[in-house]
Structure 1
């Protein structure tokens, strides 16, 4: 059973989320504030976290950072904050998706399924499980990235995107392929997702993110990894 942690201080919304997810055979835990969320996440080890940013005791971005200190569990932000800088702050902190309130329950559940799919799918692995460049090293077996001798923290979505590219060195992977593999068929055409996440990967891995050496854009077509 897939276990979901709902972090939300609106009792009515929590009730609606719990009813809808339990009806679809998800196990659900709920936390009304950030401190409870961090305790429950450690104790219950959820498969997905649904997180409101406006919590009574701390900002949701702090919760994301707290979780990312020890887990790569997918985090889907549910927030009334629609400003792009709020979205960027949450994604940069380690969130995997951002859903603006009010939202369609069907859309939320579709994104939840996509998040679960991303953690379960295993792309083909090349002959070697260690990929080394002058800037960073990718361990495909351990699912880790390192740069300058230090681990690089990647969200599950960032890792999935990087893994697909690294497993196809030198080959163009189209926007459509990446969107369908990482986010699901319903995200075909959402190229802004790719731009945001590729920018995050470059900031974390490339020496000069504005002029990438390894994570290359083929304008209008897709991306490729140059070893």
Structure 2
């Protein structure tokens, strides 16, 4: 079965080049503005979305935020060179990863495959589709966690990060190690990617994110999960 991919960009030539470069293993749909992207995301389940930041009608941040209200599909955001603050905002709004234009299509393919491989690997490695860690009930098939009967809405990468740390309790992982384990490739980007996802995860699972109980920091070493 082909991977269902939605490319969202207002540059026709760029989409054409991506279609050519990605090859026949992908079932590719296109959207040329933010409104069209949200509509297509509601009407069809995609395996991954490539989302440009600068779009007509709705920008990429708005699109990402809206998609996250109804879907946890992995999103790779495309940004222009030097837009560091926007990259962080993209992660804050729920993007799983980002790439800076211009980019190499081989790297894009590697990132797509790494995200999908990591998602599949976590599901396959879980001993049960549903189990408990502390006060959390984890559902690996639905890719969600429940506390006190309430669903905690996590993005794909947040769920991966939670499950990896929670199933490796009390083991400290550096940001570099987490990038390799969760993002699944040799990452040459900004280590803030991990920090942003940790912060977002704490805001969702901790009673007090400024004084976390579960996901802790070992200064100078990395992050770990304490049950």
| TM-score normalised by L of structure 1 | 0.86
**Does the residue aligned with 1:129 lie in a helix, a strand or coil?**
strand
Aligned residues of 1:118 and 1:157 also touching (Cα < 8 A): no
Query: Which blocks of at least 5 consecutive residues in structure 1 are unaligned?
Result: none
Aligned residues of 1:2 and 1:47 also touching (Cα < 8 A): yes
Match of 2:138 in 1: 139
| TM-score normalised by L of structure 2 | 0.86
Match of 1:5 in 2: 6
**Does the residue aligned with 1:76 lie in a helix, a strand or coil?**
strand
Aligned residues of 1:169 and 1:225 also touching (Cα < 8 A): yes
Give runs of aligned pairs for residues 58-207 of structure 1, distance below 5 A: 58-80=58-80, 82-122=82-122, 124-125=125-126, 129-133=131-135, 137-141=136-140, 142-146=142-146, 150-173=150-173, 175=175, 177-187=177-187, 191-207=191-207
Cα distance in 2 between the residues matched to 1:84 and 1:185: 21
* Per-residue CA distance 1:182-220 (angstroms, 9 max, x = gap): 112412896433222212211222233233221012234
RMSD of the alignment, in Å? 2.5
* Per-residue CA distance 1:86-138 (angstroms, 9 max, x = gap): 122211111101112122222222211122222222264368712244xxx34
Cα distance in 1 between the residues matched to 2:212 and 2:84: 24
Aligned length: 223
